[in-house]
Structure 1
């Protein structure tokens, strides 16, 4: 889930430079065409979070055809396939997310989505505007290749097809957190887990990696500032929640600028909603504030929660008002295991090409892959999908109705999944 619009994060890559995977496990041209066909089919039939019924059925049928142990209906529509290799070794998990977004597609590709769905009680277009269709297709391709070569596979591979990465509908639960709570790793706990996310504003085939924190936590806060209504001509007769809210907004900005040690990790606290009042000459009873918190350190995250609550309550108290603060915790920080990244970097460069693998800056978008990476060592990378004849920075970002992916990236991502399995320590 890319919760904010971001500019290109990878620069200075030679246009059109794609690696040759000589002498390495790699999908055939025939399998590549299958991956492309799966991607187009899924793209044309997108499904919203916790509603991925067709996609899940397609995936489950594919995994069963490959002879895998298959479990379905985990966290509503999640599917997990288990491949037992021909040799002893580690347990490796590979993950793809399946859900689409409430976005009306505006591209002109022949397989564009015309699907209409329901979101928050409204009729909406549905589109794979974040590239999850590519993720599913790549993992289906990796599953087929590894199943065909299972005698050379050391250990066990878990193929995790996850619903609701974009967030469960209101009143529901879903995604990685629910899969784990329902026992995803209870009987078979991976030694490592890998994930790939396509990136619309990075050049074709470029891999962005980072050791340690990669993507921010994403949390929401609500503040109800309660005063006492009175006529605007006599503010002393009531308690003004608008003035109190203004003080809260100003004072909360000092949390990051003055109270957080930003040499450890960046953080953002932003207000997005300010609502209160119905008439120019009536001081209302209440003002509602809502905003987002992003940061890259789990301890700092808790510090911000505490200081936000204290700042709101104290600021309101000074004016005679009262502030009720609610923190709605979202996705944790996505943390790549440094040792795992270091081990697999050689493989990543061998598959994608030395010049195509670059260290990513911190990304303030959020991803629920973070839950898996808190349970077992994880490695999550970005895969560029901007066509080589286009300026990546000018390409539509993920979540745009014009989001476009060059399908040549599918081969790179599929081969990454395959080679990570073969090259993981203990798998050789």
Structure 2
């Protein structure tokens, strides 16, 4: 569809008097949907290409180059290396108006893919000094493709746009790599991504297990704040047959994990503020009959209440110290935030529901879904400007979402039928915001 179609229909409507007030002067839904359908073969091709060539956080050089090249081909103003590998595309409409931002993330994970897809990843990368397999096991390949599709459609309507759309392609959503002080969203913000032009609002989405093509979110706290926790236990090495001659960090580690699990389960009311504290890695020892002198643990803390989080951290650190001291060991406890609470602006959330229904279809939007303990650094954008982040169901056809492979799983895949819904959601949320 050419960009002239919406303009022509709008002119005819105005001439006939069928659009009596400026509030009704909206781009036609049917014509926009047709434009979206027109770009879908390219969207699917992008998704498969990005999927086959994943890159870890702050190493998304091939990905960023492809994104920038396409945005330039659309005639957008393009800024690269915003937050190391981040890309920003600025679409200035033919008429003055408001400014809105749309965001997608670009990074992959150190996961060995097991989907069996013909375009499955065989890529590797460097993570924590080691060569690891890399895969788009969280769906960021789909996010990239959908936002590029939306940029293509909106660029085709440039003359009719009253305002500006900022397309943010963000690196390192999965957290700052070791040695980096900031993750992707925080670094892009520090380097001015929300300035010149300054968006009044921002929207983003994430594919997750769910009924294909449905959209769900909630106002206020939607996705948990995420902290990385690191614990190092120091003991004294000894022969495995003489544990009393050393200080057994393996025994201490087992007690530390049990203490953290019990502390969370028995002191936090899960019905009021969902809280998850998980120890996920343990590194200790090199030989079966030697008790090592050090054990390193790492994990994640997910919370929805800042005061409660601070109190739990204080008590957990004290408990770990006490457990270690009981065995004659010592412990180093450190915590670092990966993502703040995803907090959807209430007014914007209410306004967005019918817009998303326009994109997904009647009855396919749930704007009152329960909170989820997964996290997203989109939250840092929301700390600066009002925003709404929502989920797009992408389970395979005929598969119960409760049993479909979750994000970060080696088997995680995206149902490509839902990509068109995501592109429409991006396009309509930007357009309708500019038309408000």
- Give TM-score scaled by structure 2 length: 0.82
DSSP-derived class of the 2:35 partner: coil
1:98 corresponds to: 106
* 1:254-297 residue CA offsets vs partner (Å, 9 max, x unmatched): 54344445454111222334566788998765554433211122
Q: Determine if contact 1:241/1:321 at 8 Å carries over to the other structure.
A: yes
Is the partner of 1:362 in helix, strand or coil?
coil
Instruction: Select which of 110, 113, 120 maps to 2:121.
Output: 113
1:324-361 deviation digits (Å, cap 9, x = unpaired): 21113222222222221111111111221232112433
The partner residue of 2:369 within 349, 360, 368 is 360
Q: 1:375 aligns with which of 375, 384, 391?
A: 384
Q: Determine which of 252, 273, 291 is the counterpart of 1:265.
A: 273
CA distance in 2, matches of 1:248, 1:40: 43
Deviation string 1:119-159 (CA, Å, 9 cap, x unpaired) is: 34444433222221111111111111111112332222110
- CA shift in 2, pair 1:260/1:148, >3 Å: same
Quote the RMSD (CA, aligned, Å). Answer: 3.0
| Distance change >3 Å, CA 49–CA 319, structure 1 → 2 | closer
Superposed CA offset, 1:182-227 (max 9, x none): 222243332111111112x212101121112222222222233445
1:35/1:141 contact within 8 Å kept: yes
Partner of 2:206: 197
The equivalent of 1:416 in structure 2 is 425
Match status 1:301 vs 2:309:
yes
User: Do the aligned partners of 1:27 and 1:415 also contact (CA within 8 Å) in 2?
Assistant: no
1:388 aligns with 2:421: no
* Distance in 1 separating the partners of 2:145 and 2:281: 38
Q: Please give the alpha-carbon distance, in whole angstroms, between the structure 1 residues aligned to 2:435 and 2:204.
A: 18
Matches within 5 A, 1:11-410: 22=30, 27-172=35-180, 173-199=182-208, 201-227=209-235, 245=253, 248-260=256-268, 262-273=270-281, 285-317=293-325, 321-358=329-366, 359-410=368-419
Distance in 2 (alpha carbons) for counterparts of 1:238 and 1:107? 46
1:403 is paired with a residue of what secondary structure?
Answer: coil
Residue 414 of structure 1 and its aligned partner are, at CA, apart by: 0.6
1:150–1:246 Cα change, 3 Å: same
User: Take 2:384 and 2:143, find their aligned partners in 1: how far apart are those partners?
Assistant: 22
1:316, distance to aligned residue in structure 2 (A): 3.9
Residues in 2 aligned to 1:48 and 1:197: alpha-carbon distance in whole angstroms: 18
1:16-74 Cα distance to aligned partner (Å, 9 max, x none) = xxxxx647655343222222222222223222222211221111121112221110011
- Partner SS for 1:404: coil
Deviation at 1:162, TM superposition (A): 0.8
What CA distance in whole angstroms lies between the structure 2 residues aligned with 1:125 and 1:250? 31
CA contact (8 A) 1:26 1:418 kept: no
**Structure 1 gap ranges (5+):** 1-20
Range with greater deviation from structure 2 (143-152 or 28-37): 28-37
How far is the alpha carbon of 1:80 from its aligned partner?
Answer: 0.2
Higher relative contact order (CA 8 A, sep 6+): 1
Structure 2, unaligned runs of 5 or more: 1-28
Aligned pairs, number: 407
C-alpha separation in 1, matches of 2:242 and 2:114: 53
2:36–2:420 CA contact under 8 A, matched in 1: no
What TM-score does the superposition give when structure 1 sets the normalisation length? 0.84
